[in-house]
Structure 1
Amino acid sequence: VIVKITEEKTETLQQLTRLNLTPGKRVEVENKTVPSGSLTIRVEGESCTIDHDLASIIYVKKNEGEVNN
């Protein structure tokens, strides 16, 4: 679950909103690309790929009872 976004730039916040990446949303990492650090994530049934810089400003909390695969 997204708990915090550490960004103040309007353009970046609008991009996150378009991707539905806002506090309270449940996200799941589907794939991580090495070495670029980009992530393919799923939020509300939709997949998207974000780069490392964008991912680094999104703070998440693991739901209790979830198991890492």
Structure 2
Amino acid sequence: MGNINEKGLRWWRNGSFAGQSAPHSVPPNYQIHGTMKPLYAKNRIEYQDYITWRCNIGPGGTVP
């Protein structure tokens, strides 16, 4: 029901914060993607993102 809202992918390379992608509000059929660069062999990558959308199941609301 409506758009999907993405907070913006945050990521860390070898324990150091490496950046955050821009937030998006996109239609449900949009393929969410991102880019993390530069990456090198043996890098340790961690990432985090939050995606929410509205639903009309039961009383309705926002799904985290």
TM-score (norm 2): 0.29
Larger Rg: 2
